[in-house]
Amino acid sequence: MSELLKVEQVAKAMEGLGTVDAMKPNRIRVATTPAKVKEAVQRALKDLKCDHVVQIAAVDNGKSFELIYNLTGPHHTVVSILLELPRDKPEVPTASDLLPPAGLYERQIHDLLGIVFVGHPNLKRIILNEDWPENEFPMRKDWKPNPNTFYGGVHTEEAK
Amino acid sequence: MRKPGSVLKEMFENLGTRPVTILYPKEKVPIPEAFRGKIAIRDEKCIGCSKCAIVCPTQCITMVANEREVEVKGKTIVRKKKPEVELYMCIRCGLCEEYCPTDPKAIYLTNAFSGAGPDKEVVVK
Amino acid sequence: MTEVVVPIGPHHPALKEPVNFKVVADGETIVRLELDVSYNHRGIEKAAEQRDFVRVVPLLERVCGICSHSHTTVFVKGIEEAMKVQIPPRAQYIRTIVAELERIHSHLLWFGVAAHEIGFNTLFMWTWRDREAVQDMLEEMTGNRVNYGINEVGGVRRDLTPEQIQAALKRLPHLEDRIAKYRDMVNKEATMMIRFRGVGKLSKDDILKLGAVGPTARASGVDYDIRKDDPYIAYADVPWQVITDTHGDVYGRTLVRIGELQQSLQIVRYCLENLPAGPIKITTPRAAPRGEILSRYEAPRGELVHFIRTNNTDKVERLDIRTPTLANWTSVAVSLVHQNLADIPVIVAAIDPCLSCTSRITIVNERGKKTGEMTWDELSAHGREFYRKRGRA
Amino acid sequence: MDPILLAVYILLFPGFLFLLAYAFFFQFLDRKIAARMQARVGPPLLQPFADFVKMLGKEVIDVKGMDRKAFDAAPLLALAAVMTAFLYVPIVGNSPLAFQGDLILVLYLLTLPTIVLFLLGWLSRNVFATIGGVRAVTQMFIYEVPFFLALLTPALMAGSWSITDIVAWQQSHLWFAVLQPIGFVVALIGLQAKLERTPFDIPEAETEIVAGPWTELTGRRLAMMRLTMDVSMVVGSALVAALFLGGPRIPWTITPDWLSWIVGFGLFFVKTLGVLLVLASIKVATGRLRIDQLNDVGWKYLASAAILQVLIVLLMNYWWVSA
């Protein structure tokens, strides 16, 4: 079982992309910007020998959207690449060409938070039902279900 | 040593032995006493503190006004409210039983597991 | 040969849960496949944000029917990590026992369903009969066969009495003997071998490229197992090892799952025999300090991840659940192309999909047809009237 | 044979009434054995009859734009074919309708249900049913050749195309199951495939294509088609029992006429139950093959075994008869 990555190793591989800090021995975080995310993922795949995407987490912390790419490999350390997206134009280049499973994760994030992944092969709806109204993103903090739009399910008003 | 498992041998062994399935309505399944079944309320023990109503994950316990003397640790006090449970909203998680301060619990889960019924709004008093 | 579009799902006898494959088949071989997930999305992540830590646990238990203990353990472990709180060892051991018992009954269930997919119903009946022993153990310990409700932030809600431990220990030898028999049967039974060998084959770098997890990945030699890589609850000090295989096809996945069954039985036996004494829970503060936790767990189907962000309140600011089946979908879709139509159920069952984990909303959509709430007597009146009219017509 | 006795023979005792009752009993026994082998309780005695009556009462749903008359007629055609086949198989003694070549007629009548299944699949305008129908016919091509060869070798050795003569021949010689063991095994496997039971139930593979040709069958049509499958199970096992296990005759004759009838019927009963036990255990012990795997198994092993058997029979005929 190869031993955990050191913070210095990750810092050396990622220098010039962003600040590196270790929250736990096996959790190392790299804060970077949307422009450099593809470069960061590529370096993680090549230099740090990460070959498995654990998860792409998406958070709406009120002010902006945060995307966290969690990658791991035989070294069993989770390298998470964190980036912030402005609230008005959340766009980030897709990572599905580098990481095929990311295609499904990005479609799910797009459904729930409305982050546009530039260059994604088919950013169709996957997680919400077909007749969910367009550009209403339920996981956003400021989303409130207003009563008169119809969110799928039984057409209650006609049934009365 | 363990006999090697072969499908044919096992099949004909089963032919001889008694089948495992039981005919449910006639024969009953033994229920362990720790089983979390249908909810029940001991009205005489309840002190109306509404802790169960607060902790219930599905909010199916409503406190109903109901005056009654209750004997607690020697003293008798008059309680104002008692819980009423909407039976088919209850997910039988047992949190209310855990947070109920009374000694023989005022609200508890029996181990009756069959709970189907026609009336959706039935309420356990 | 003209191409035929065969809809497999969302209501299909082979798939116990709603996933829809629009399969374009040329004769018997599949040419193209459209995957349509999420008929079962219940918005649990949004609901979790409005519940405090005590009331969110029963909600998370219902994310998935079979791996309910996984979701509560991974969440509760994450919150304890955020609160920087250490739960007593006895609670750790009880959680491990229930986790491994859940893995055993989930794998036995899968093994029966996989045999049923190829029409071998006998093994389906036998495995589900032996699974009853595990269900009885769980029912005695936790009070319910599936949703155990044993976890809470800061420890475990019920203690194991000595009689329960003895009753459980008495059932283990029979289970070990049965599982050893099933391992022989898999290697000897002809039709099972033909239908499982070489079906849905994925090489090691395919698995890594497509991000498959759990037994599906371990069947191709990828030895990722979170219980070993990132040990949690009591796995660090229990002697067991990761089961991997090199076949990479459905047969390999069956062998991996049977191996894991035997490992889990050993873990349960070890934990039951030296269950440490002491309290089973500690009182934890109501709110969790600001923090961001990536809590990982080895669910029966693979690596389950809860991304939890807490903000100094007693509610979760954001809970992002990534379930093993969501990770396995890409590898299934790729491995299905150029396979036989008859193999779809077997390959899909091989990753043991758990749909209620993957997507979490169920909205009945009767486009056009008018359905409303009917009380019981309205429904029966309607029924009688409908048939009387039909009778006369 | 005067017409009244013949009418009784056809309609009542060893004819249709007995056949239907025996078919229901066979279905019950098959399901009971399979259940007990799987450690389950299994159905009560009259369950198949209750299913049949209930299904007759169920609503018949017609697919939009379907040819109703053809869809109604097809199950009846299959049932009629299989029931007439039963008349030529000796049950109590000789079958009065025997004629030279009735073995070929019975074999032809037994293949009709599969063709009707294909027709049903095609008529019901449903993608699952069509694929099921195509599979039923492909499967038929695979197992028909070895099945026919295996059933014709006894005729070769007995030197006659009538089942009654073959049974008579076996009375004075050894049973064909002993003389031609390979043929007996191929016949059993072929019968299992003809009845579309588990190793070969590819056309109505429940987990892949819903129910194959059976998908759109509802109400009385489904009742008729299931009855056809039960009756063909009875006829098939009676045929195999007659051709390979000596049918209802015993080497030494018993003086009183009615006693030999009863003994004959008893023998027929025991032998067909034996065949049923073998069929049920094959069904319980195996999973379902894929259609292309069936192709390899069918042509490589079944067909070559049947041809080998024919070769052995020809050699034995030549060497035995000339010696």
Q: Which residues of D touch B14 (CB under 8 A)?
A: 36-39
Per-residue pLDDT at B5 exceeds 70: no
Q: Name the burial class of residue C283, with classes exposed (0-12), middle (13-18) and buried (19+) by CB atoms within 10 angstroms of its CB.
A: exposed
pLDDT tens for each residue of B84-118: 999 888 988 889 998 999 888 899 998 888 878 88
Residue C123 distance to chain B (closest CA, Å)? 9
- Out of B15, B20, B21, name the one closest to residue D37 (CB): B15
Structure confidence at residue C176 (pLDDT): 92
Write out chain C residues lying below 8 Å of B4, CB-based: 181, 184
From B33-37, C343-347, D111-115, D236-240, the region with the lowest mean pLDDT: C343-347
CB contact under 8 A, C183 and B5: yes
Q: Are strands A78-85 and B39-41 parallel, antiparallel or unpaired?
A: unpaired
**Is the CATH number of domain C44-322 1.10.645.10?**
yes
Bigger pLDDT: C199 vs C387: C199
Strands A116-118 and A91-93: parallel
Show residues of chain D in contact with B23, CB under 8 Å. 41
User: Do D108 and D147 meet the contact criterion of CB atoms below 8 Å apart?
Assistant: no
Poorest-confidence range of A112-121, C34-43, C139-148, D132-141? C34-43
The region of weakest confidence among A46-50, C1-5, C113-117, C309-313 is C1-5
Q: What ipTM describes this predicted complex?
A: 0.86
Q: What is the sign, positive or negative, of the torsion defined by CA atoms of C183, C188, C194, C198?
A: positive
Token pair recorded at residue D116:
């009707």
Percent of chain C scoring above 90 in pLDDT: 20
Instruction: Spell out where chain A has E strands.
Output: 19-24, 27-32, 52-60, 65-72, 78-85, 91-93, 116-118
The residue ranges of every structural domain in chain C are: 3-40+348-392, 44-322
**Minimum Cα–Cα distance from D32: chain B residue:** B15
> In chain A, whose CA is at the least distance from the CA of C355?
A127
Q: In the predicted model, is pLDDT for residue C54 greater than 50?
A: yes
User: Could you give the CA distance from residue A61 to residue A84 in angstroms, rounded to a whole number?
Assistant: 10
Q: What is the pLDDT along chain D (323 residues), one digit of tens a residue?
A: 678 888 887 777 777 888 999 999 999 999 999 999 888 888 999 999 999 999 998 888 888 888 889 989 999 999 999 999 988 888 877 777 888 888 999 999 999 999 998 998 888 888 778 888 888 888 888 888 999 999 888 888 888 888 888 888 888 888 888 888 899 999 999 999 988 888 888 877 766 667 788 888 888 999 999 999 999 999 999 999 988 888 777 766 666 777 777 888 888 889 999 999 999 998 888 888 888 888 888 888 889 999 999 999 988 888 876 65
Q: Rg for chain D (alpha carbons), in Å?
A: 20
Report pLDDT for C271.
92
The residue of chain C nearest to residue A151, with distances taken between CA atoms, is C363
| Residue C328 reports pLDDT greater than 60 | yes
Q: What is the CA radius of gyration of chain A?
A: 18
Which pairs with CB-CB distance under 8 Å and at least 24 residues apart come from A2-6?
Answer: A2/A74, A2/A75, A2/A76, A3/A75, A4/A75, A4/A76, A4/A77, A5/A48, A5/A75, A5/A77, A5/A79
Q: What mean pLDDT do residues C219-243 have? A: 87
Which residues of D fall within a CB distance of 8 Å from C195? 287-290, 293
Does domain A7-159 bear CATH number 3.30.830.10? no
pLDDT at B20: 85
Determine contact: A80 vs chain C, CB below 8 A: yes
- Please report the pLDDT score of residue C25 as a whole number: 65
Least CB-CB distance to C144: which of B20, B36, B119?
A: B36
Q: Do B35 and C58 touch (CB under 8 A)?
A: no
Q: Which value, in Å, is the radius of gyration of the alpha carbons in chain C?
A: 23
Contacts of D198 in chain C (CB under 8 A): 119-121
From residue A23, alpha-carbon distances to A13, A15, C310 in Å are 18, 18, 15
Chain C touched by A117 (CB under 8 Å): no
Contacts 24+ apart (CB under 8 A), D50-58: D51/D223, D51/D226, D52/D24, D52/D223, D52/D226, D52/D227, D55/D219, D55/D220, D55/D222, D55/D223, D55/D226, D56/D219, D56/D220, D56/D223, D57/D219, D58/D218, D58/D219, D58/D220, D58/D222
Chain A residues whose CB is inside 8 A of the C228 CB are: 1
Name the pTM for this structure: 0.87
Of chain B, the end-to-end C-alpha distance in Å amounts to: 59
In a mutational test of the A interface, the residue from C216, C306, C307, C362 whose CB has the highest number of chain A CBs within 10 Å is C307
Q: Which residues of C touch A133 (CB under 8 A)?
A: none
Residue C375 has pLDDT above 50, yes or no: no
Cβ–Cβ gap C294/A160 under 8 Å: no
Give the CB-side neighbour count of residue C28, counting CA atoms within 13 A: 14
CA distance C127 to D205: 21
| pLDDT score for A105 | 85
The answer for residues whose C-beta is within 8 angstroms of residue C49's C-beta and 6 or more apart is C315, C316, C317, C318, C319
Q: How far apart are CA C88 and CA A136, in angstroms?
A: 45
Chains that touch C (3 or more CB pairs under 8 A): A, B, D
Kindly tell me the sign of the dihedral angle through the C-alpha atoms of D63, D69, D72, D73. Answer: negative
Chains with 3 or more CB pairs closer than 8 angstroms to A? C
DSSP 8-state assignment for residue D302: I
The confidence score (pLDDT) of residue C365 equals: 27
pLDDT at C28 over 70: no
Helices then strands, counting H and E runs in chain D, come out as 13, 0
Residue whose tokens read 């049509």 = D221
Q: Are B21 and D39 in contact (CB under 8 A)?
A: yes
Are C126 and B10 in contact (CB < 8 Å)? yes
- Asked if C28 lies within 8 A of D291 by C-beta distance, the reply is yes
Confidence class for position C353, pLDDT limits 50, 70, 90: low
The C-alpha of D189 sits at a distance from chain C's nearest C-alpha, in angstroms, of: 14
C281 secondary structure, DSSP code? B
| Residue C48 C-alpha, separation from nearest chain B C-alpha, in angstroms | 11
Q: Which residues of chain A are under the pLDDT cut of 70?
A: 1-2, 152-160
Interior angle at CA D219, CA D214 and CA D225, nearest 5: 45
The answer to whether D117 and D130 have CB atoms below 8 angstroms apart is no
Closest by CA position to C94, among listed C230, C233, C227? C233
- Could you tell me if D101 and D161 are in contact, meaning their C-beta atoms sit under 8 angstroms apart? yes
Is the CB of C209 inside 8 Å of chain A's CB atoms? yes
Candidates D33, D20, D75, D28; CA nearest to D48 is D28
Which pLDDT tens digit goes with each residue over C73-115?
999 999 998 898 899 999 999 999 999 999 999 999 889 888 8
Structure tokens given for C269: 């036996």
In angstroms, the CA C286 to CA C313 distance is 8
Instruction: Compute the distance between CA of residue C112 and CA of residue D42 in angstroms, rounded to an integer.
Output: 19
| 3-class DSSP state of C315 | strand
Query: Residue B12: pLDDT band by 50, 70, 90 thresholds?
Result: confident
Query: Any CB–CB contact under 8 A between C140 and chain B?
Result: yes
String of DSSP letters for D123-175: HTT-HHHHHHHHHHHHHHHHHHHHHHHHHHHHHHHHT-S-HHHHHHHHHHS--
Please give the Cα distance from A32 to A18 (Å, whole number).
5
Residue with tokens 């056949």: D19
Q: What share of chain D is helix, strand, coil (3-state, %, to 5)?
A: 75, 0, 25
Task: Tell me the two tokens of residue D197.
Answer: 């039971």
Q: How far apart are CA D65 and CA D60, in angstroms?
A: 15
Buried b or exposed e, range A46-82, using 16+ CB within 10 angstroms:
eebebbbbbbbbbbbeeeebbbbbbbbbbbbbbbbbb
**Per-residue pLDDT, C373:** 38
CA nearest neighbour of C100 among C51, C71, C134: C134
Asked whether residue C262 carries a pLDDT value surpassing 90, the answer given is yes
Radius of gyration of chain B (CA): 22
**Mutation target vs B (from D29, D37, D41; most B CBs, 10 A cutoff):** D37
Angle D206-D212-D213 from CA coordinates, rounded to 5°: 145
Task: Enumerate residues 6+ apart whose C-beta is below 8 A from C303.
Answer: A54, C213, C214, C224, C226, C296, C297, C324, C327
Give SS3 for D7. helix
**In this structure, are residues C58 and C52 in contact, taking their beta carbons and an 8 Å threshold?**
no
Residues C104 and C98: their CA atoms lie apart, in Å, by: 10
Average pLDDT, chain C: 80
Cβ-Cβ contacts under 8 Å, C59 against chain B: 57
HEC readout, D258-301: HHHHHHHHHHHHHHHHHHHHHHHHHHHHCCCCCHHHHHHHHHHH
Q: What b/e string do you get for D150-162 counting C-beta neighbours within 10 Å, with b at 16 or more? A: bbbbbbbbbebbb
Q: How confident is the model at residue C363 (pLDDT cuts 50, 70, 90)?
A: very low
Choose among D277, D196, D230: nearest CA to B11: D277
Domain ranges within chain A, ordered by starting residue: 7-159
